[in-house]
Structure 1
C-alpha cells in the first residue's frame, strides 16, 4: 500500500467515526425515549388492571403482554444502539490497523 492511500483511508475512517458519534447520540436518545415510553405505558396498564380487580399475581405478566409493542420498540432501539457501538468499534480497529501499517512503512 502507498502512504498516500493509507493516509486517505485513515482520514476517511476518521470522518466515519465523527459521523458515527453523531449517530450514536441520536440512537442513544431514541433508546432512552423508548425506555421512558415503555415504562410509562406499563405503569398505566398495571394501574388499569389493578383498578379492574385483576389478581395481583397476574398484573405484571398481563400488563407486559398488553404493552408488548412498547416493549418491542424498547428492545429494538437497545439492539440498534449496541450495533452502532460495535460499528464504531470496528472503525476504530480499522484506523488502528492502518496506523500500524503506516508506521511500519514509514520505518522501512
Structure 2
C-alpha cells in the first residue's frame, strides 16, 4: 500500500511539473518576444544616433562610441532582456530534469 501512495504522489508531482513546463514555455515565448523587440528598438535608435552625429559633422572615429553612449539605457534593456531569456531557458531545463527524475522513479516503482 505504501508503494501505491508513493506512486500517487509521484503522479501528482509529474502533473504539477507538466503544468509548470507549460507555464514556463509560454513565459519563455514572451521573453523571446521582448528580447527581439528590445534588440529592434536598440538597433533603430543606434542607427538614428549615428546618422545624426554624421550629419552634425562629428569625426567618424568618435561616432560609434558617442552613439552607443547616448543610447546606453536601451542597450541595458536589451542586455537584460537577453539574460532574462537565457535564464528562462535554463529554468525550463531544470524543470525538464525534474520531470526526468520523476519518470525514472515512476518506472522503478512500476518494476517493484
Of 64, 70, 74, which aligns to 2:68? 64
Q: Which residue of 1 aligns with 2:91?
A: 87
The equivalences for 1:22-61 within 5 A come to 22-61=26-65
Separation (CA, whole Å) in 2 of partners of 1:31 and 1:106? 44
In the alignment, structure 1 residue 4 sits paired with structure 2 residue 16: no
| C-alpha displacement of 1:3 | 0.3
- Structure 1 outlier segments of 4+, above 6 Å: none
Q: Which residue of 2 aligns with 1:106?
A: 110
State the Cα deviation string for residues 30-50 of structure 1 (Å, max 9, x = none).
000000000000000001111
Separation (CA, whole Å) in 1 of partners of 2:11 and 2:62? 61
The alignment of Structure 1 onto Structure 2 pairs a total of residues equal to 108
State the Cα deviation string for residues 46-71 of structure 1 (Å, max 9, x = none).
01111111110110111001100110
| C-alpha displacement of 1:105 | 1.2
Separation (CA, whole Å) in 1 of partners of 2:90 and 2:9? 25
Separation (CA, whole Å) in 1 of partners of 2:36 and 2:69? 21
Of 64, 72, 75, which aligns to 2:79? 75
RMSD: 0.9
Unpaired runs of at least 5, structure 2: none
